[in-house]
């Protein structure tokens, strides 16, 4: 098992700890809800949705997290600021997990964090994400809101090689995140398509060796495109996804955004198995689980 020579950062966000040497703490999984064309959403502009079905998804995700010892983020995705605010407020009431502030629109993310600025939810919120398209206004908004945790997307069309992603982080993204007042850096190494997961995995290992920050990525979209293009059935898709998640964890991933929350039933056990194996091997490197809730003690 890999043991990084650089001291590894450990962050506490809400009730979740993330980071450290592989085998110390389990990875964190993030399931998505209210995403584009999610069947439980009836008005994506205003954030109107089926509350009973949303609550059931959150409860199932929580059950799998508890059963496997894998902690979680929740990733509500809003197409407008109004919708994103509605989603975050609902998730906050029906869970105690950290919550990603996620939208494809920068302006929606900014308006959402302005809404929650200075409030009791701010310590649970994680801005997703500070990326190459950052603006001065966005950084000022993040600082003004008081958010201290953010995903930093180390990915660009001109920074595909792992070493180039490190350069992008060092020269542009990390200074910008620091300017925004961020203290807890979660580095997303980016996934373009399914084969590029291997590059994301290499970049995760580099991030942890170079900076010691928690790192991970979101391979779900690439998996969906592959499934659709190749016309695979669900069994094939789930097996491939489990392999992808395991590869990333073996590379050192501290978090994975695993896709729609309906996948919780198989995504958590797959990642817990990988985590347990890594933790067992780490004992021979002098690394022991930092918590008795570790998957090593839950799934084996």
**pLDDT (tens digit per residue) in 168-184:** 999 999 999 999 999 99
Bridge-based pairing state of the strands 215-217 and 125-130: unpaired
Structure-block tokens of residue 139:
């950084």
| Residue whose structure tokens are 């729609």 | 260
CA distance 21 to 253: 10
Bridge-based pairing state of the strands 125-130 and 149-153: parallel
pLDDT, position 282? 93
pLDDT, position 110? 98
**pLDDT (tens digit per residue) in 227-255:** 888 899 999 999 999 999 999 999 999 99
Query: What is the reported pTM?
Result: 0.97
Please report, for the chain, the start and end positions of each structural domain, with discontinuous segments joined by +.
10-299
pLDDT, position 236? 94
CA distance 271 to 278: 11
**pLDDT (tens digit per residue) in 112-162:** 999 999 999 999 999 999 999 999 999 999 999 999 999 999 999 999 999
Statement: residue 293 has pLDDT above 80: yes
Per the CB < 8 A criterion, the answer to whether 273 and 7 are in contact is: no
pLDDT, position 300? 82
Structure-block tokens of residue 17:
């700890």
CA distance 10 to 44: 36
Mean pLDDT of the region 15-36: 97
Burial class from Cβ neighbours inside 10 Å (0-12, 13-18, 19+) for residue 117 reads middle
299: confidence class by pLDDT, cuts 50, 70, 90: confident
CA distance 42 to 105: 20
The DSSP output letter for 171 is: I
CA 146, chain centre distance (Å): 20
Per the CB < 8 A criterion, the answer to whether 36 and 236 are in contact is: no
210: confidence class by pLDDT, cuts 50, 70, 90: very high
CA distance 149 to 74: 14
| % pLDDT > 70, the chain | 100
Q: Which residues of 273-291 are buried (b: 16+ CB within 10 A; e: fewer)?
A: bbbbbbbeebeeeebebbe
Q: 2 versus 143: which is more confidently predicted?
A: 143
Count CA atoms within 13 Å of residue 114 on its CB side.
13
| CATH code 2.60.120.620 for 10-299 | no
CA 284, chain centre distance (Å): 29
Sign of torsion over alpha carbons 144, 150, 155, 159: positive
Structure-block tokens of residue 52:
């009973």
pLDDT, position 182? 98
CA distance 258 to 241: 9
């Amino acid at each position: 098992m890999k043991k990084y020579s650089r001291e590894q950062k450990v962050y506490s966000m809400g009730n979740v700890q993330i980071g450290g040497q592989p085998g110390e703490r389990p990875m964190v999984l993030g399931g998505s809800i209210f995403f584009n064309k999610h069947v439980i959403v009836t008005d994506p502009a205003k954030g109107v949705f089926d509350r009973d079905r949303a609550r059931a998804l959150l409860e199932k995700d929580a059950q799998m997290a508890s059963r496997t010892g894998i902690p979680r983020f929740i990733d509500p995705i809003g197409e407008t600021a109004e919708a994103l605010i509605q989603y975050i407020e609902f998730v906050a009431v029906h869970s105690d997990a950290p919550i990603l502030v996620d939208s494809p629109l920068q302006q929606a993310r900014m308006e959402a964090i302005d809404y929650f600025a200075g409030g009791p939810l701010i310590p649970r919120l994680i801005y997703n994400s500070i990326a190459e398209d950052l603006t001065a206004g966005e950084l000022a908004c993040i600082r003004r809101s008081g958010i201290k945790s953010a995903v930093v997307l180390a990915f660009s069309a001109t920074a595909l090689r792992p070493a180039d992603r490190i350069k992008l982080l060092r020269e542009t993204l990390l200074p910008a995140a620091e300017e925004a007042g961020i203290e807890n850096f979660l580095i997303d190494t980016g996934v373009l398509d399914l084969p590029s997961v291997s590059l994301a995995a290499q970049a995760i290992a580099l991030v942890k060796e170079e900076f010691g920050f928690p790192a991970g990525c979101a391979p779900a979209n690439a998996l969906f495109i592959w499934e659709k293009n190749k016309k695979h059935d669900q069994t094939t898709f789930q097996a491939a996804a489990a392999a992808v998640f395991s590869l990333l964890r073996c590379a050192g991933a501290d978090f994975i955004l695993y896709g729609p929350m309906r996948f919780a039933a198989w995504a958590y056990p797959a990642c817990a198995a990988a985590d347990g194996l890594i933790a067992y091997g780490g004992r021979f490197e002098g690394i022991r689980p930092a918590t008795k809730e570790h998957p090593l003690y839950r799934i084996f």
